[in-house]
Structure 1
Amino acid sequence: GRNIRNLTERRKLGFFSCGTGNPIDDCWRCDPNWHKRRKRLAECGIGFGRNAVGGRDGRFYVVTDHTDDDPVNPKPGTLRHAVIQDRPLWIVFKRDMVIKLKQELIMNSFKTIDGRGANVHIANGGCITIQFVTNVIIHGLHIHDCKPTGNAMVRNSPSHFGWRTMADGDAISIFGSSHIWVDHNSLSNCADGLVDAVMGSTAITISNNHFTHHNEVMLLGHSDSYTRDKEMQVTIAYNHFGKGLIQRMPRCRHGYFHVVNNDYTHWEMYAIGGSANPTINSQGNRYAAPMNPFAKEVTKRVETAESKWKNWNWRSEGDLLVNGAYFTPSGAGASASYARASSLGAKSSSMVRAMTLNAGSLPCRRGRQC
């Protein structure tokens, strides 16, 4: 019965027969010729990172070589050679590959890394650093088992390389950057965070990702004293926070955070945490609490007295709370604050399972709907 009902629901909504109501996916996944129109993806963004164009206005660059022998002088055909170029590039992969990076992959501006059509793993070494750049799209990768790297020279543009101090081993580290879109990646088991955004980063969307097997999943704002993060705006939408996760989905400071239509099926300590007066707008999510009777609360105010946090604007609207989950709201509901933490319309939480069922890297094949 469920499928019949879904079809009639979809028809009512006016989507293609493949549509789920997920507006990003419904924008491109129904097209069997997606591989001939890859750059259409850049028009499908939502949320605070929706204006990230990535490499839309540049050429395609085909990665043919999985090696990373020399982070200062990368070979043409490698992913590192692609991402450091000064011009816009839409980066795709010739074949399936596992890329073990010797050092962090330091992105330049106006780049799309598009893993669709190949099974691409960045694993067991350095991972992605997006530092002091703008307009980056990361789509369709498996990023896992990232290790701390550093105390080494690494090239970050054709004309510049420099000394890198130790990097934590995040899957994706966003540092002082804006107009960033992280979509349909599978992220797990890294040394520090899976996605961290710090040092005044803003205009970010983190969507359709599948997060698993990790402790501190997502850090948005790195220090209570770093007040430049008061401008930070991040959308977290249509992600599946899955097996083996413990905490920080996300952990926020200072800024404005729209958490919308995500599926939280596993956490061990808490899902959403924060300090330093962040505004958190939670809408249309599904929060399924763990069995542990002491870990049913979705929210956590980190190391702050209630006399302080009671004034922070945290709200839950239309969230589906399952297995005893409960969300502790706070604040007087200052509408101006929530306006700055709103970036798209939330769908009903009853649609979350369908909209997040294909979170993570998709097994796309040319000539078929993805």
Structure 2
Amino acid sequence: MTHFPSKRRPGAGAVLAALLGMTAALGLGTTGEATATERALPDRTTAPNYPTQPARWTDRAHGFASLAGGTTGGAGGKVVTVTDQASLVSYANAPEPYVIRVKGSIAVEPFGADIVVGSDKTIIGVGDTGEIVHGELHLNPGTSNVVIRNLTIRDSYVEGDWDGKTTDFDAIQMDGADHVWIDHNRFQHMGDGLLDIRKDSQYVTVSHNQFRSHNKAFGIGWTDNLRTQITIDHNWFTGTKQRNPSADNCAYAHLYNNYLSAQVSDGDPVWTYGNWSRGRTRMVIENSYYDGVQHPYQADATAELVQRGSILRNTSGRTDSWGTAFDPRDFYAYRLDPAKAVPALVTRFSGPQRNIGTTLHVPAHYPSVQAAVDAVPAGNDVPVTIAIAPGTYRAKVVVPANKPNIVLQGTGQSRADTVIVYDTPAEYGGSTGSATVRIAANDVTARHLTFSNDFDEAAVELKGEQALAMKTTGDRIVFEDTAFLGNQDTLMTDSPNLTTVSRVYIRDSFIEGDVDFLYGRATTVVERSEIRALSRGSDTNNGYITAASTWTGNPHGFLITRSRIVSDAPAGTFHLGRPWHPGGQVDAVAQVLIRDTYLPAAIKATPWTDMGGFSWRDARLAEYHNYGPGSQVAADRPQLTDNQASSHTVTAYLKGTDGWAPHTARTH
């Protein structure tokens, strides 16, 4: 954009730090000019309180799998998506870490064959439809740090072999493995066991799985040693006969909030049972629910079993309890759900879930945001969340056009906790090279983050002082509870070329700057947000909020609605905007509507102005139902009629030909 002399506000770093220290509520920052009327108005820009994790589970291992260094699987490695057996086999047994996403159904050949899983792997179903059919995931002795989530593994059963005596086709089998988390899977109708955890495997957690339609569901042990430590929680055993589970010579077996129902009933008086503490196992059962189960829980005379809080309904047979076993809270913290709630919770939340996806953690698993972006596969078509821990990340980030469906999510209590910042001016590489963060991909969402360019205009003599915090060119971009900090050209929402329409939706956010600090040709909606117009120390002209360059064929440019504009500039010294024609392009005709928004006294009585020889009167600039000391209806302030305003809504700006409606989606 055209260089416009500006005065950097004093102490850029200090001001940034001060702002980041403020509350994340968007009602902050009212100036001394606020009137009693303004203060009495309802706060329409307060950011919602977003949770940082789903309500019923997290994407990190818990229980025994979380101990002794934890279980992270392939975190830190490349993310790949597989749709065939050859690719799954190749990545699963590779020497380096991988996050392997199984998309759709993979039929394994020959029938019952093993897929060997090496150390440092995550194998996770995409959505709730990823499945492995006719095959087994096998962990050999010495395998360590494996996560298996969100899969269905089914149908290696050999007809007529109900007892599983002729084959050894398990869903998952491990021998001497350590640090394994098996979570949110569905296992059914296999050739031997559904889950066999054998021969001194250690630090294992089995959670939120479904064991269905089978004889021998889940066995643990096959050893004389007391080494296995295992947590088993929120699993659903239904239509199974025995081993629900059977735990042989476990050092510690902690079972809680499991649901056993619809047990197979074939008249077998011994080998139809629920939980069995065998050998010298020390077992603790808490708040589980047994419905229609024979021998709900039992223990060998040499074993120990402590049970508390469980519910038995229509049960018969053994309910053994003796010894002291151990106290699980000596090892880890956990939350017990009430036993009476277990059937509803477990049936709803066990097994594959549509909204369990791949989450890449920064910096726990990836050293930088860019490293996590780089790990996402090209052509990605399922959302991948990059969870960014609180902190200040001084680095540039580029989300390239071939990596769509990324969610950048800060995990702090407020957006001010997680900051991505750099200090490059446009003198070095123009707007693209200047941007701290650049999003070229479609379908990218950012939440609970601050983006900043803290280049100090006053410290360096340069021809240009543009310094972008964010530039987007992708379509269907969403910013929720985000902040954009800078001076000139803070936030550029653009498109790949003049006649391509990209859409950006900004909600519950904060944007600051002085000259053209919200600009570009993308269709952009700013809703329920605060826009801070910074003073440059002038008594006459302190800057411009918008500089749209909307293609003349696009009726929808910028819409600022139900928001607040605040400023520390003197009264009557700030413009709402001017029309930007990049390179003199005559077909870039700005369209800006500011409606239902608070305007401060800093706004000029004639708030639109010319730019680069193009008259603002030839652009599409208007207001509707604004309020506050900077609002008025005058000859030089075009106002929409009620009829016109009815077609200038958030929906109208965003829907396009695909019906995109992020403003109606439930926030996270």
TM over 0.5: yes
Pair 1:112-2:128 in alignment? no
CA–CA distance in 1 between the matches of 2:333 and 2:247?
17
Count of residues in correspondence between the two structures: 291
Summarize the alignment of residues 180-199 of structure 1 with structure 2, pairs less than 5 Å apart: 180-199=180-199
CA–CA distance in 2 between the matches of 1:231 and 1:15?
41
Could you tell me which residue of structure 2 aligns to residue 266 of structure 1?
Answer: 262
* 1:120-169 alpha-carbon deviations (Å, 9 max, x no partner): 22112x31101120000001111011268xxxxxxxxxxxxxxxxx9710
CA 15–345 in structure 1, closer or farther in 2 if over 3 Å, else same: farther
Pair 1:61-2:58 in alignment? no
Could you tell me which residue of structure 2 aligns to residue 280 of structure 1?
Answer: 283
AA aligned to 1:97 is S
Could you tell me which residue of structure 2 aligns to residue 248 of structure 1?
Answer: 243
Pair 1:227-2:224 in alignment? yes
CA–CA distance in 1 between the matches of 2:116 and 2:167?
11
Could you tell me which residue of structure 2 aligns to residue 87 of structure 1?
Answer: 96
Deviates most, 360-369 or 114-123: 360-369
CA–CA distance in 2 between the matches of 1:91 and 1:57?
12
AA aligned to 2:73 is G
CA–CA distance in 2 between the matches of 1:99 and 1:121?
8
Could you tell me which residue of structure 2 aligns to residue 348 of structure 1?
Answer: 338
Match for 2:314 among 323, 326, 329? 323
Pair 1:144-2:158 in alignment? no
8 Å CA contact retained: 1:288, 1:325: no
Identity of aligned residues (%): 24
AA aligned to 1:178 is D
CA 249–168 in structure 1, closer or farther in 2 if over 3 Å, else same: same
Match for 1:121 among 96, 114, 131? 131
Could you tell me which residue of structure 2 aligns to residue 172 of structure 1?
Answer: 172
How far residue 280 of structure 1 moved from its aligned partner, in angstroms, is 1.2
Could you tell me which residue of structure 2 aligns to residue 213 of structure 1?
Answer: 213
Task: Flag the structure with higher helix content.
Answer: 1
* 1:236-273 alpha-carbon deviations (Å, 9 max, x no partner): 1111112x210111111111211111111122321112
AA aligned to 1:130 is L
Summarize the alignment of residues 41-60 of structure 1 with structure 2, pairs less than 5 Å apart: 41=59, 44-50=60-66, 51-60=70-79
- For the residue of structure 1 that corresponds to 2:340, the secondary structure is helix
Q: Kindly report the root-mean-square deviation, in angstroms, between the aligned alpha carbons of the 2 structures.
A: 2.9
CA 319–279 in structure 1, closer or farther in 2 if over 3 Å, else same: same
Summarize the alignment of residues 22-41 of structure 1 with structure 2, pairs less than 5 Å apart: 22=56, 25=57, 27=58, 41=59
Could you tell me which residue of structure 1 aligns to residue 201 of structure 2?
Answer: 201
CA–CA distance in 1 between the matches of 2:319 and 2:128?
42
- For the residue of structure 2 that corresponds to 1:213, the secondary structure is strand
8 Å CA contact retained: 2:298, 2:318: no
CA–CA distance in 2 between the matches of 1:108 and 1:330?
39
AA aligned to 2:206 is I
* 1:172-199 alpha-carbon deviations (Å, 9 max, x no partner): 0011001000111110011111111111
Structure number with larger C-alpha Rg: 2
Could you tell me which residue of structure 1 aligns to residue 372 of structure 2?
Answer: none
CA–CA distance in 2 between the matches of 1:17 and 1:233?
29
Pair 1:99-2:97 in alignment? no
8 Å CA contact retained: 2:186, 2:209: yes
- For the residue of structure 2 that corresponds to 1:227, the secondary structure is coil
Pair 1:358-2:349 in alignment? yes
Task: Identify which of structures 1 and 2 has the higher relative contact order when contacts are C-alpha pairs closer than 8 Å and 6+ apart.
Answer: 1
How far residue 332 of structure 1 moved from its aligned partner, in angstroms, is 3.1
How far residue 52 of structure 1 moved from its aligned partner, in angstroms, is 1.0
How far residue 283 of structure 1 moved from its aligned partner, in angstroms, is 0.3
8 Å CA contact retained: 1:174, 1:196: yes
8 Å CA contact retained: 1:142, 1:185: yes
CA 53–300 in structure 1, closer or farther in 2 if over 3 Å, else same: same
CA–CA distance in 2 between the matches of 1:231 and 1:115?
30
CA 334–82 in structure 1, closer or farther in 2 if over 3 Å, else same: closer
8 Å CA contact retained: 2:128, 2:151: no
CA 204–18 in structure 1, closer or farther in 2 if over 3 Å, else same: closer
Q: TM-score, normalised by structure 1?
A: 0.71
CA–CA distance in 2 between the matches of 1:335 and 1:97?
42
How far residue 346 of structure 1 moved from its aligned partner, in angstroms, is 2.5
* 1:322-353 alpha-carbon deviations (Å, 9 max, x no partner): 124576233332557x6678763423213323
AA aligned to 1:203 is Y
CA–CA distance in 2 between the matches of 1:363 and 1:62?
16
AA aligned to 1:209 is N
8 Å CA contact retained: 1:218, 1:250: yes
Runs of 4+ in 1 over 4 A off after TM superposition: 14-20, 338-343, 365-370
How far residue 100 of structure 1 moved from its aligned partner, in angstroms, is 1.6
CA–CA distance in 2 between the matches of 1:322 and 1:19?
31
8 Å CA contact retained: 1:99, 1:120: no
Match for 1:333 among 315, 324, 335? 324
How far residue 358 of structure 1 moved from its aligned partner, in angstroms, is 2.2
CA 197–67 in structure 1, closer or farther in 2 if over 3 Å, else same: closer
- For the residue of structure 2 that corresponds to 1:245, the secondary structure is strand
Deviates most, 318-327 or 110-119: 318-327
CA 15–328 in structure 1, closer or farther in 2 if over 3 Å, else same: farther
- For the residue of structure 1 that corresponds to 2:96, the secondary structure is coil
8 Å CA contact retained: 2:212, 2:237: yes
Q: TM-score, normalised by structure 2?
A: 0.41
CA–CA distance in 2 between the matches of 1:358 and 1:190?
23
CA–CA distance in 2 between the matches of 1:112 and 1:201?
18
CA 17–118 in structure 1, closer or farther in 2 if over 3 Å, else same: closer
Could you tell me which residue of structure 2 aligns to residue 299 of structure 1?
Answer: 297
* 1:42-78 alpha-carbon deviations (Å, 9 max, x no partner): xx221111221100111112214x244xxxxxxxxx1
CA 15–251 in structure 1, closer or farther in 2 if over 3 Å, else same: farther
8 Å CA contact retained: 1:287, 1:325: no
CA–CA distance in 1 between the matches of 2:139 and 2:153?
15
CA 278–118 in structure 1, closer or farther in 2 if over 3 Å, else same: closer
